[in-house]
Structures are given as structure tokens and as C-alpha cells.
Amino acid sequence: MPTLNIVLVEPQIPQNTGNVARTCACTGARLHLVGPMGFVVDDRKLKRAGLDYWHMLDITYYQDLKDFFAKNNGPFYYFTTKAPQRYTDVRYPDGAYLVFGREDAGLPEQLLFENQPWCVRLPMRNDARSLNLSNTVAIGVYETLRQWDFDGLLDQGHLRNYDWK
């Protein structure tokens, strides 16, 4: 199964991070949390959002972006409302890092400016600020997995009381 990395830079809302953790657990994506964060990891709101899945996570913590970049080589794809290209215009390779900024400020503009070819956005209305962080992560994750034909994931469900056949 290919490796997908989800990076949250300075997340501020524990419920969003918990939802992202659940998405990572369900898809096998690795989660990278870059500080400083707006909550402590044992926050009950964080754990409640992803409680049943916490044991399934491959999670790494970093002090700050400098620490993160010192320990990871990419390729990095920066999700931002400021990007000039759509997230579907990119072919995500094995080992890709999908990088998301804090809920109230996004990613640092200097980082975006220095990495313009790897900045992507979700199309949305001009008068809307942005989608919720956990929703944006889920969209990015599933686009990447779709491109990989959902390798390693169960893609058929079963009814409890009936048989589809």
C-alpha cells in the first residue's frame, strides 16, 4: 500500500484534529502534527472525535515547521485558498505529504510563495472564506486515494441483515 502523509501545521481546534485523525486511521494515512498547537493532545474533545480510532494511528509530533522539514523530505503539496491551481490538477505520488495550515490563518505566506508550483486549492465561491479543515483534509485524502485506485482499502460493504446477491 502506498504511503500518504497528512500534515497539520499549528492546528487550533481539537475537534478538527480528532476528525482528521479518524480519517487517517480509516485510510491508513500517516498523521503529522506540527506545533505549537492550540490544545493539548490529551484534550477530551480531540479524543472524542477520534476515540475509537486512536490506536490505529501512525502519528508523529513536531515542535515547529523547522523541526518538521528537518525530518521529512517530501514531496509536499500545500493546500491553501490562495493557490493558483486546483488540487485535482496534481498527480500525487507515493509518499506525498498533504500539508494544511491552521484554521484561522492557513499556512505562512512565505512558505506558499517559495513553493508556488506545489500549492493547490479546492474550488469554491469567491465570497466564501474556506471549507472546514477536516473536510478539506478528507477531500485531499480521497482524491489522492482515488488516483491510487484505493490501493489496500476495502471498497465493498456488506449489509447486516441482507445479502446484496
**All domains in the chain, ordered by first residue:** 5-147 (3.40.1280.10)
Phi, psi of 111 (to 5 degrees): -60, -45
- Using a 10 angstrom Cβ sphere, with 0-12 exposed, 13-18 middle and 19 or more buried, the burial of residue 18 is buried
- pLDDT reported for residue 53: 77
Contact 136, 79 (CB under 8 A): yes
Tell me the per-residue pLDDT of 20-40, one tens digit each, with 9 for 90 and over.
Answer: 999 999 999 999 999 999 887
**Which segments are annotated as binding site?**
101, 122, 130
- pLDDT reported for residue 46: 61
pLDDT of 147 > 60? The answer is yes
**Which segments are annotated as binding site for S-adenosyl-L-methionine?**
101, 122, 130
Question: Could you tell me which of 128, 38, 48, 147 has the C-alpha nearest to residue 81?
Answer: 128
Tell me the per-residue pLDDT of 88-107, one tens digit each, with 9 for 90 and over.
Answer: 999 999 999 999 999 999 99
- pLDDT reported for residue 51: 62
pTM of the model: 0.93
| Distance in angstroms (rounded) separating the CA atoms of residues 85 and 133 | 19
Tell me the per-residue pLDDT of 111-120, one tens digit each, with 9 for 90 and over.
Answer: 999 999 999 9
